[in-house]
């Protein structure tokens, strides 16, 4: 009897079907250029959610990169260097489609260019990866608070500056005054002038990160006194009225509620930023 590779319970494979399978796997690679819409359609809902989260984060940080005239592709790579090329390219193209930046010539690796030319493959993203991403965003940027604060304080303009009636000047994306910049210098040993701060986008972000961490420590020090308050709301109160003002706001249950020159009170800011 002739030996056969097929077992008794395994039906023989039709030769034409087998050849078709080899052709499908080993045939020429498609060189069709797929549109952004087609590539997005190939994604799962989880992938879309993941991409949207990163895109929002990059968009929120765009003011930091504005003066460097960087493309969305380079912004994505700078913020998420370990992200694979396929995802980086799609995120950059989505951002460019939604809010176009001027064309910028950059050195892009050939493999990045080839991603857009071949048939899109479903990018599988696990729940663990999504959780890691969300944790990174939490650590890198304190919630979306700084993004929201930037829009309200300066519309995201890094060179924004205002001098109020008593002569104090507030500068940058998050409108820091000289007193708060002095707090940062004293805490970190850093040395810079207000003008240097105004012209250094990375320094502004560094000071903002420190600012929020310092406020969070003050909120935590209140213990149970602050447990019924929204954290972002208290962050905004501390940003407007100082850490000591925020503590007094909490300890008086909102009775301490001064206004700034524009008539904005601590409670106004608390309501605006509270979830």
Query: pLDDT digits over 123-165, tens only?
Result: 455 566 556 655 555 555 444 788 888 878 887 778 889 888 8
State how far the Cα of 64 lies from the Cα of 83, in Å rounded to an integer: 20
State how far the Cα of 243 lies from the Cα of 23, in Å rounded to an integer: 69
Q: Are the CB atoms for 133 and 50 separated by under 8 Å? A: yes
Query: Do 185 and 129 fall within a single domain?
Result: no
Query: Do 184 and 225 fall within a single domain?
Result: yes
Query: Do 54 and 155 fall within a single domain?
Result: no
State how far the Cα of 129 lies from the Cα of 122, in Å rounded to an integer: 16
Q: Are the CB atoms for 51 and 133 separated by under 8 Å? A: no
Query: Do 51 and 169 fall within a single domain?
Result: no
Torsion of CA 176, 178, 183, 185, to 10 degrees: 100
Residue after which a domain boundary falls, among 140, 161, 178: 140
Number of domains comprising the chain: 2
Instruction: Look up the pTM and report it.
Output: 0.53
Residue after which a domain boundary falls, among 140, 173, 200: 140
Range of the domain at 56: 36-140
In a domain, 12, yes or no: no
pLDDT digits (tens, 9 = 90+) for 5-26: 444 344 455 667 767 766 766 6
- Residue 53's pLDDT is what? 76
In a domain, 31, yes or no: no
Query: Do 149 and 54 fall within a single domain?
Result: no
List the chain pLDDT tens, one digit each, 275 residues: 444 444 434 445 566 776 776 676 666 655 566 788 888 887 777 777 778 877 877 776 666 565 556 788 888 877 777 777 778 888 888 888 888 887 654 443 433 333 334 444 444 555 665 566 555 555 554 447 888 888 788 877 788 898 888 888 999 989 999 999 999 999 999 999 999 999 888 899 899 999 999 999 999 999 999 999 999 999 999 999 999 999 999 999 999 999 887 788 999 999 988 86
How is the chain split among helix, strand and coil, in percent rounded to 5?
A: 60, 5, 35
**What share of the chain has pLDDT > 70, as a percent?**
71
Lay out the sheet containing 161-163: strands in order across: 161-163, 169-171, 176-177
Burial category of 174 from C-beta neighbours within 10 Å (exposed 0-12, middle 13-18, buried 19 and up): buried
Query: Do 267 and 184 fall within a single domain?
Result: yes
State how far the Cα of 205 lies from the Cα of 97, in Å rounded to an integer: 26
State how far the Cα of 210 lies from the Cα of 218, in Å rounded to an integer: 12
């Amino acid at each position: 009897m002739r030996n056969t590779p097929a077992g008794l319970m395994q039906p023989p494979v039709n030769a034409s079907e087998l050849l078709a399978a080899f052709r499908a796997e080993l045939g020429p690679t498609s060189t069709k250029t797929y549109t952004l819409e087609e590539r997005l359609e190939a994604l799962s809902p989880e992938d879309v959610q993941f991409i949207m989260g990163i895109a929002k984060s990059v968009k929120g940080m765009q003011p930091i990169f504005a003066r460097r005239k960087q493309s969305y592709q380079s912004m994505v790579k700078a913020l998420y260097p370990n992200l694979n090329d396929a995802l980086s390219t799609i995120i950059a193209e989505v951002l460019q489609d939604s809010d176009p930046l001027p064309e910028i010539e950059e050195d892009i690796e050939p493999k990045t260019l080839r991603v857009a030319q071949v048939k899109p493959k479903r990018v599988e993203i696990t729940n663990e990866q999504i959780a890691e991403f969300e944790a990174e965003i939490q650590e890198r940027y304190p919630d979306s608070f700084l993004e929201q604060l930037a829009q309200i304080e300066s519309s995201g303009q890094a060179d924004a500056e205002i001098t109020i009636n008593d002569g104090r000047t507030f500068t940058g994306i998050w409108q820091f005054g000289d007193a708060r910049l002095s707090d940062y210098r004293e805490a970190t040993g850093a040395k810079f002038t207000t003008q240097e701060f105004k012209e250094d986008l990375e320094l502004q972000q560094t000071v903002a990160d420190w600012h929020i961490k310092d406020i969070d420590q003050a909120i935590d020090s209140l213990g149970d006194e602050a447990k019924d308050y929204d954290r972002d709301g208290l962050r905004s109160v501390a940003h407007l009225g100082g850490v000591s003002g925020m503590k007094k706001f909490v300890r008086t249950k909102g009775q301490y509620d001064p206004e700034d020159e524009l008539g904005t009170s601590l409670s106004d800011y608390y309501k605006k930023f509270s979830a």
